[in-house]
Amino acid sequence: MAASSATYFFVVRVPSNSFSPSTRFSFLPLFKPSPSVSLKASPSRSRSANLFARNALETIDSKGTSVSKDRSLEAASLGSKPTILVSEKLGEAGLELLRSFGNVDCSYNLSPEELCSKISLCDALIVRSGTKVTRQVFEAAKGRLKVVGRAGVGIDNVDLQAATEFGCLVVNAPTANTVAAAEHGIALLAAMARNVAQADASIKAGKWQRNKYVGVSLVGKTLAVMGFGKVGSEVARRAKGLGMNVIAHDPYAVADRARAIGVDLVSFDEAITTADFISLHMPLTPTTTKVFNDGTFSKMKKGVRIINVARGGVIDEDALVRALDSGVVAQAALDVFIEEPPSKDSKLVQHENVTVTPHLGASTKEAQEGVAIEIAEAVVGALKGELSATAVNAPMVPPEVLSELSPYVVLAEKLGRMAVQLVSGGAGIKSAKVVYRSARDPDDLDTRLLRAMITKGIIEPISDTYVNLVNADFTAKQKGLRISEERVVVDSSPECPVDSIELRIANVQSKFASALLDDGEITVEGKVKDGTPHLTRVGSFSVDVSLERNLILCRQVDQPGMIGRVGNILGEKNVNVNFMSVCRTAARKLAIMAIGVDEEPDKETLKMIGEVSAIEEFVFLTL
């Protein structure tokens, strides 16, 4: 049954007015309008959506969720625009941008229950550090939530694992508040050294305590910056300007970058044992949690002063109280706490040698406007299907790579969809192999996107799981599907990233035996021609048919009149043929006919095709 690859084939291009090839590429089609509503919104619906946006803004700062607000959210969520829930205060410029794209509901101070009850009506959620985006939130979203935007840097309040499992992209705004946070760190450093907060409180209480509030000087002192990233390096730069000797500890920082601003990178122990001031700027991760504890405080210079504008959780707060009481730590200035807000009777907050601010690091007008724009752009881009440069739980693919790979991404998904439909009982697929033929060096071809789309193509037709670049690998693992990849360097133009993609599925039965190679693997291969994905091989049969909507594959005994006979059946049933390709092993021997059709033929039409005597087997595939 398998034909040699040296086959004859010819192609009939059937002009069709009704078909318009899909030109828009979207690798992460995150927002899909509600299926219950027509995509062409009536003018009245557009008006009500705009009205909704206005109403929503009027809910700012309202505690709790009024019935009328949720009704408008429900109404808007059915429309053709995405619904974006903003759960903490966001700069106006960002809100404007969001409103120009979707329905925006600003509901602040939601309880966890209120957030969970709203979230299934929302396509995107924008938070700052005050909203905990837990697994329960993703569960309650029932698959609708596609993007979480963190208007700021730290994403420790978002359950990233759960986001990934639910295919929800998380993006942050990592740059716009850097300077604000660094300035706040310096403000706390200076205020602490000169007892500004304590002296202010004292004088307001009617006292005049000049001897009590004698401070310490900064010039000539050693500052250890723990975490030499964006904020840490800006703090270091400013501290140098104050005449401090700055050292830094960061296991991942580049020494040259530090040296360029006159900072030595040192070990953790050297940093904490030599510093007079220690300023914390690392993220909260399992490794940094409570990294400042009884053990580490005991190694510090007696009388050290600590500033924390990073995350409360990097310090064991009880241990810090002990270190302050014993005098090992002379003073601390804290903007962040394990629990926010901290309890009123927190020993740490109430300690006389502690200066506190309520997580104000990013709170300047300038930073908040910048963050709002940065996050709004990222969320809108993600909803449009673009990959954000600030994606936290998805591989970052540079825009130029993305645009180059875009037609191959479509091809990859269609090959996956095709292959799974060729398997009888598709759910039993355990492994798939993808072979990329390319003139490029394997290191010069990023296939993560292609692999994700093949996974999407294989999984989506046989399950209700939504697959995208975020959750593709996770979902494949969950379903017990192992995707292996092979790259074959071929002699073609390196201008073109991929010459062909071949997908093989082993250890399965096929409902179209001609799709099996001699080794028993279902094999389909495709290429991109003039920007359009084409099927170029099924099993060992060469074909050439553009992968557009629906495809009928027939194996037949080659004889005159076959194209006409099948074409007539389809024509009589008003099924528009847009492409046809026939490949045969030799004249009057076996042939494979691939027919692209715009409409899905009904069962009767397919039965009639099957009854054509020369047709040995056929399959209908939806792409």
Ligand X SMILES: NC(=O)c1ccc[n+]([C@@H]2O[C@H](COP(=O)([O-])OP(=O)(O)OC[C@H]3O[C@@H](n4cnc5c(N)ncnc54)[C@H](O)[C@@H]3O)[C@@H](O)[C@H]2O)c1
Residues annotated as part of the active site: 311, 340, 359
Residue selected from 105, 335, 377, 544 as contacting ligand X according to rule CB under 6 A: 335
**Residues touching ligand X: how many (CB under 6 A)?**
32
Q: Residue 128 binds which entry of ligand 3PG, ligand X, none, with Cβ cut-offs from 5 to 8 Å by kind?
A: ligand 3PG
User: Residue 129 interacts with ligand 3PG (CB under 6 A)?
Assistant: yes
User: Residue 336 interacts with ligand X (CB under 6 A)?
Assistant: yes
Closest CA to 267 of 291, 251, 284, 246: 251
Beta bridge mates, 437: 488, 500
User: Residue 232 interacts with ligand 3PG (CB under 6 A)?
Assistant: no
Task: Report, in Å, the least distance between residue 70 CB and ligand 3PG.
Answer: 25
Q: Tell me the C-alpha distance between 287 and 292, whole Å.
A: 11
**Residues touching ligand 3PG: how many (CB under 6 A)?**
12
Task: Report, in Å, the least distance between residue 136 CB and ligand 3PG.
Answer: 21
Q: Residue 230 binds which entry of ligand 3PG, ligand X, none, with Cβ cut-offs from 5 to 8 Å by kind?
A: ligand X
Closest CA to 483 of 523, 506, 455: 455
Residue selected from 49, 122, 137, 151 as contacting ligand 3PG according to rule CB under 6 A: 151
- In the complex with ligand X, which residue's Cβ is closer, 82 or 232? 232
User: Are the C-beta atoms of 375 and 189 separated by less than 8 Å?
Assistant: no
Task: Report, in Å, the least distance between residue 390 CB and ligand X.
Answer: 12
User: Residue 315 interacts with ligand 3PG (CB under 6 A)?
Assistant: no
By Cβ distance, which residue is nearest to ligand X?
229
- In the complex with ligand X, which residue's Cβ is closer, 208 or 252? 252
Dihedral angle over CA of 548, 552, 555, 556, nearest 10: -110
In the range 168-187, which residues lie near ligand 3PG by CB under 6 A? 177
- In the complex with ligand X, which residue's Cβ is closer, 178 or 546? 178
User: How are strands ordered across the β-sheet holding 482-489?
Assistant: 482-489, 431-438, 500-505, 522-529, 532-538, 541-546
- In the complex with ligand 3PG, which residue's Cβ is closer, 359 or 456? 359
Task: Report, in Å, the least distance between residue 104 CB and ligand 3PG.
Answer: 18
Task: Report, in Å, the least distance between residue 127 CB and ligand 3PG.
Answer: 8
Closest CA to 576 of 602, 601, 553, 593: 601
In the range 211-250, which residues lie near ligand X by CB under 6 A? 226-232, 249-250
Q: Tell me the C-alpha distance between 143 and 149, whole Å.
A: 16
Q: Tell me the C-alpha distance between 623 and 219, whole Å.
A: 69
Q: Residue 335 binds which entry of ligand 3PG, ligand X, none, with Cβ cut-offs from 5 to 8 Å by kind?
A: ligand X
Q: Residue 229 binds which entry of ligand 3PG, ligand X, none, with Cβ cut-offs from 5 to 8 Å by kind?
A: ligand X
In the range 428-467, which residues lie near ligand 3PG by CB under 6 A? none
User: Residue 592 interacts with ligand 3PG (CB under 6 A)?
Assistant: no
Beta bridge mates, 528: 533
Task: Report, in Å, the least distance between residue 330 CB and ligand 3PG.
Answer: 26
Q: Tell me the C-alpha distance between 429 and 445, whole Å.
A: 26
Q: Residue 497 binds which entry of ligand X, ligand 3PG, none, with Cβ cut-offs from 5 to 8 Å by kind?
A: none
Q: Residue 368 binds which entry of ligand X, ligand 3PG, none, with Cβ cut-offs from 5 to 8 Å by kind?
A: none
- C-alpha distances (whole Å) from 584 to each of 2, 4, 154, 541, 594 are 11, 9, 60, 8, 11
Length of the chain (residues): 623
Q: Tell me the C-alpha distance between 467 and 120, whole Å.
A: 18
In the range 481-540, which residues lie near ligand 3PG by CB under 6 A? none
In the range 362-391, which residues lie near ligand X by CB under 6 A? 362
What letter represents residue 179's amino acid? V
Beta bridge mates, 401: none
Residue selected from 154, 167, 342, 533 as contacting ligand 3PG according to rule CB under 6 A: 154
- In the complex with ligand 3PG, which residue's Cβ is closer, 173 or 330? 173
User: Residue 158 interacts with ligand 3PG (CB under 6 A)?
Assistant: no
Task: Report, in Å, the least distance between residue 136 CB and ligand X.
Answer: 23
Q: Residue 253 binds which entry of ligand X, ligand 3PG, none, with Cβ cut-offs from 5 to 8 Å by kind?
A: ligand X
Rg of the chain's alpha carbons, rounded to an integer?
A: 31
- The residues, any chain, with a CB within 8 Å of residue 133's CB and separated by 6 or more, are 125, 127, 148, 157, 158, 159, 163
Task: Report, in Å, the least distance between residue 253 CB and ligand X.
Answer: 5
Q: Which residues of 2-38 are buried (b: 16+ CB within 10 A; e: fewer)?
A: ebeeebeeeeeeeeeeebeeeeebebbebbeebeeee
In the range 132-171, which residues lie near ligand X by CB under 6 A? 153-154
- C-alpha distances (whole Å) from 509 to each of 414, 420, 427, 429, 547 are 20, 11, 11, 10, 23
Q: Tell me the C-alpha distance between 431 and 484, whole Å.
A: 8
User: Residue 312 interacts with ligand X (CB under 6 A)?
Assistant: no
Task: Determine the straight-line distance between the first and last CA of the chain, rounded to whole angstroms.
Answer: 26
* Residue 617 main-chain phi, psi, to 5 deg: -160, 155
DSSP single-letter state for residue 438: E
In the range 557-576, which residues lie near ligand 3PG by CB under 6 A? none
Element spanning 620, H or E: strand 615-622
- C-alpha distances (whole Å) from 112 to each of 38, 117, 135, 170, 584 are 33, 9, 11, 19, 63
User: Residue 310 interacts with ligand X (CB under 6 A)?
Assistant: yes
Element spanning 161, H or E: helix 160-165
In the range 333-362, which residues lie near ligand 3PG by CB under 6 A? 359, 361-362
Interface positions with ligand 3PG (CB under 6 A): 128-130, 151-154, 177, 359, 361-363
Interface positions with ligand X (CB under 6 A): 153-154, 174, 177-178, 181, 226-232, 249-253, 281-284, 287-288, 309-311, 335-336, 359, 361-362
